[in-house]
Amino acid sequence: MWISCFKAGMWLVVCVVVTLVCGRFSVRGEDAPFITRFVRTNSQPLCWISYTNCSDRNFDYFVQSSSNLVDWVDTQAVRGSISNRTVIRSVVIASPKQSFHRIVKTPHINVPMFSMAIQAGSNITFMGNGIVIDSFDSSSSVYSSWSTNSLWGTNLVYDILKRNDHGDVGTDSSLTDSAMLGNAAIYGKLHTGPGSSTATAQIGANGIVGDLAFQAGGGNGFQTNAWLYDMNVAFTPVVAPSGPALPAPSYSTYSNIISVFNFNQADQLYVLNQPLNGQVVVSAPNVVIWAKAGINFSGTTGGLFIAPGAGVVIYVGDNSGSSVSVNLNGQGGVNANGYAKNCQIYGMTTCTSIDMVSYAAFVGTIYAPNADLRAGSGGNNTADSSGAIIAKSITLSGHWNFHYDENLKNSGLYW
């Protein structure tokens, strides 16, 4: 690492040279932060700090400043480079007179992106009866059961007899009526923004929020400590995928199913300028689809099917332009017998609405910070879905069951 100070475009002095030895590290509970020697700047210069970074993404590097060598403030944070080569990072800091600077290297803490069943940046509204939110774990037969589909394979899926109570619901808002829970049964906790009050959330006469024991006891309302004012997040925009791309595949046949769009190239990006629709099959691992014009799964056969061993990440919309929507109402469902981690949908800036208003099954994750999401089922039919959802706002109508897959915390999807 080297640090130089300059003023009015002229170099003044090289303050200090510190070498960071890069190598392979492991994150352990006893790992202590590594702190470089501090350097001092005078006469209010700008301090340009460059440091050599390693390829180990288990660590973060923080540039800190202080005026008294006691109170240190982070001014820049960079995670270890994903490349296998040494890289140089530089930051420019406006320094007060006689300030001090150092670099702190600490183990990186992976925060799961999908740590709750449902999260919204603004309002959550549950209407009608028959809304149930609970959890299961697709990595454990203790909290799920094996199910076989002759075409789509054998997987661990939700089993109501093995349900768990980590189906948390959260809104980043603390405004009045930000969480209107109605008569929903939430097997978990409610999280609202800091500064919330008793007016932030409302629950109906038959609504209930709490763990398995509280639910079984026949109570209603909030279990003690089941409503926390601790949600304080910023949902960042989705970055567009990059790299060489293929167009959408033509109609073909997959395992005797005719007229399907089969995305069968592993580790391949497909770019679509028309909506993703019809019967879609993903039969290769690590497929990426950029659906710039949205998704429209409708009718009796429309849907997404993922073959054993395959997986897909779908980007919807673009960074600018006209709004696009996502329609997941096709009766073919979306990854109905699969694992949520294998079906990821990311709504970009122009993705502003998502509809799941049918009884079609959905198994996957949705991250769409600009989209208003509606879900539910009409009549006496119950929509049964699992995975995790993050959206701008979420409105659920009656007869909609959602099961948070706790395995998403360990599936490599992190902030």
| Secondary structure class of 63 (helix, strand, coil) | strand
> Can you give the C-alpha Rg of the chain in angstroms?
25
- Indicate the pairing of strand 227-228 with strand 190-191: parallel
pLDDT at 403: 98
Bridge partners for 137 per DSSP: none
Asked if 291 and 315 touch (Cβ cutoff 8 Å), the reply is yes
pLDDT digits (tens, 9 = 90+) for 135-187: 999 999 999 999 998 888 899 999 999 999 999 999 999 999 999 999 999 99
Model pTM above 0.75 = yes
Contact 222, 210 (CB under 8 A): yes
**Cβ of 180: how many Cβ atoms within 10 Å?**
17
Q: Where are the domains of the chain?
A: 2-107, 118-410
Q: Which residue has the tokens 């037969």?
A: 141
324-355 tens-digit pLDDT: 999 999 888 999 889 999 999 999 999 999 99
Which residues lie below 8 Å from residue 105, measured CB to CB, with a gap of 6+? 20, 33, 34, 35, 59, 60, 61, 62
- Other C-beta atoms closer than 10 Å to the C-beta of 317 total 29
Report the DSSP pairing between strands 324-328 and 295-297. parallel
CA torsion sign, 109 to 113 to 118 to 119? Answer: positive
107 has a pLDDT exceeding 50: yes
Contact 126, 104 (CB under 8 A): no
pLDDT of 89 reads 43
Distances from the Cα of 39 to the Cα of 6, 103, 313, angstroms: 14, 10, 45
